[in-house]
Amino acid sequence: MKKPIAGGAGDAAGTVALPHPRTSGAKRPSAFLENERWLAAMLLAPTVLLLGLFIAYPFVMGVWLALSSTSVGNPGEFVGLKNFLKAWNDSIFRTAFYNTTYYTFWATVFKLTLGMYLALLLNRHFRGKRLVRASMLLPFIVPTVLSTFAWRWMFDPTFSVLNWLLYRTGFIVTKLPFLSDGDWGIWCAIVVNTWRGMPFFAITLLAGLQTINPDLHEAASLDGANGWKRFWHVTWPLLKPVTLVVVVFSVIQTFSDFQLIYVLTGGGPANATHLIATYAYQVGVATGLLGEGAAISLFMLPVLFIVVWLQLRYLRKLEGA
């Protein structure tokens, strides 16, 4: 008995007809890889699976919760937009919404301004440049909860080291109400957020600055441009795309900020520092009203969507130009 050649189809005459890879009925496993569609699907599968599991599923679950009366230990039922209406009629939610916008706007402005200034400074040549650049990242590296605890102690209503210092140096005669006054509280949160987020801006903008050809600056200098003109007419136009990307990331992170406020003020005094995320947590997780909490947090979605869409659109326009 003749042994068939592996992979082939023997016939009675003893000749061997090797199958055409694309015409054979019984496909080999490797045949899938030769098909571009299958290969693409296989390569994409892990990503789709991960995105589905960790992004799509929680998102769909969040939307479902927001449309239901689910509370802790109670599966709930479909209630339509009731949770959204309840949130909209809730003055604490409206305060939290306003605070979130205010906090995000000012924190982003400061992070961008100071981050840009720092990046320009660090783009110069000086001794110990690498060490300074590395240490600048520290606020970004330290876990937010830990660093915010340190800030909380510095702003402590009774034992604030800042108050002590200002009092000892004769700048104040009574304590400053860092966290015990609503306006002061939100500005303290903006300061801490700026301190923490500025290195991200600085390091990314620094990377952008280093891609700018020094010849351009040199040419501008020869044409008599001063520092400000070189920045405005050379650096800024070339840095704009990077800046926009950083701002988009920062707005998303700041608008959905949670840890910082949770540790620093807990949303107080009298909800003056509550953000959408902290209030959603208070309602959904602490009070156990999961449906209402999910609805509150979903209010972030359209706002962020519009911000991201506008900025990306502008970015595309810049690239087109």
Instruction: Out of 92, 238, 252, 303, point to the residue binding another protein (CB under 8 A).
Output: 92
Instruction: Out of 31, 60, 145, 270, point to the residue binding another protein (CB under 8 A).
Output: 270
Q: Does 180 interact with another protein (rule: CB under 8 A)? A: yes
Give the H or E element holding residue 10: strand 9-10
Q: Which of 6, 294, 257, 285 is nearest to 111 (CA)?
A: 257
Query: DSSP assignment of 91-133, as one string?
Result: HHHHHHHHHHHHHHHHHHHHHHHHHHHHHHHHTS--TTHHHHH
Residues 193-252 that bind another protein (CB under 8 A): none
Q: Does 185 interact with another protein (rule: CB under 8 A)? A: yes
125 sits in the region (left: phi over 0; alpha: psi -120 to 50; else beta) called beta
Helix (H, G, I), strand (E, B) or coil at 275: coil
- Closest CB 49 distance from another protein, rounded Å: 22
Q: Which is nearer to another protein, 177 or 241 (CB)?
A: 177
Q: Does 182 interact with another protein (rule: CB under 8 A)? A: yes
Q: Does 268 interact with another protein (rule: CB under 8 A)? A: yes
CB 255, CB 100: distance < 8 Å: yes
Residues 43-72 that bind another protein (CB under 8 A): 72
Q: Does 277 interact with another protein (rule: CB under 8 A)? A: no
CA distances from 311 to 64, 245, 247, 248 (A): 29, 8, 9, 7
CB 184, CB 192: distance < 8 Å: no
Instruction: Out of 102, 157, 216, 263, point to the residue binding another protein (CB under 8 A).
Output: 157
Q: Does 289 interact with another protein (rule: CB under 8 A)? A: yes
* Number of residues counted as binding another protein (CB under 8 A): 38
Q: Does 89 interact with another protein (rule: CB under 8 A)? A: yes
Q: Which residues bind another protein (CB under 8 A)?
A: 72-74, 86, 89-92, 156-159, 175, 177-182, 185, 265-272, 281-290
